[in-house]
Structure 1
């Protein structure tokens, strides 16, 4: 098949009739990577051409198809996770932790939506604020101030243990609900999509036609102008070097 035929197959959808991948609307709770990858729905479809008597397609088009398949899997996983997240929130609305609210002087709440580590930071900061408030008292009644600090220390430990239990219960509910498993699937297919795009970036084009197909596919991604991750930029740049130079690096 001529190079021009390969190029024609990589042209954007507005130049030929192709279907594109569907995406779900973004939500406020959508992970940032989802927002980035979600925009890939606008990538022009590249079909693998049929070669008479040849069992396999050109490697570049195979990599493009592999990336599109990986994206489709990621899109489905994101959609499933989003559906379960919404259902979970309806079944178990995020709650604040009332036992700590009266210690927070700036009016900032502390709830399950903050996550375990951030919740602990808020609690620790609140107790430290209360300890600092005892400084004037320590000048006139040091023993009383020390008793106050001891009480705060004991209560902080108690609250931290309670927070650990609350989040452990939360994780158990997510497992039972199926949300935790959906999140693990999303992580796995997200990594697979990243690997597929990295492999495509690393592919060393052998002809001008291949270089054009690869470039058109990459620049057609709406997020390409925002920059690829460092490891994919490195793979893309190294793909332009002779193989001997590439191996030397």
Structure 2
């Protein structure tokens, strides 16, 4: 049964929306999914997120929560006794998880990936090396664990979920290997384990649609920069 008054406004091709879906699946929370067309945004989305006018937006009893990481924290707070915990119970471990989630979210990793995707030639090769070094740093937090959250996925796995979901597609489009099994063995194994999760298989959009979407983004970016 759908949780009373719970709606997720999103689009299937957004990795940021996917994070929220994964968190709700981990918690075993049922919800209504409202598909948004970002080229023709609904009045409801504009009302619920008047600042950024973007997805995801989680609406709970008519109270909107915006920004994916804020939504993840909200889900953990409201449904802390449901399903698995997204954050550790120990305060230090919670702070540590938040630190590495932020590391994977901001310029250290996510922006680095976009640099690879949006560059060509020597600039692109430089961006690949820089991204690999950042992933090596992230890999240190994975040492001795199957997932960043331990035996089950947690905040860092969910926030960094764009890595296994999108990097293989980026590698295919740009023709460069980013995550090599020898250079990044823990990240490589983690990516495989994430993609094997039932909740990931259940929520991932069709691969051909993602590839087409990503190719269109790259072509648009290269056209604007050339």
More helix by share: 1
In our comparison, the structure showing a higher alpha carbon Rg is 1
Greater relative CO (CA pairs within 8 A, separation 6+): 1
TM-score over 0.5 for the alignment?
no
TM-score in terms of structure 1 length: 0.26
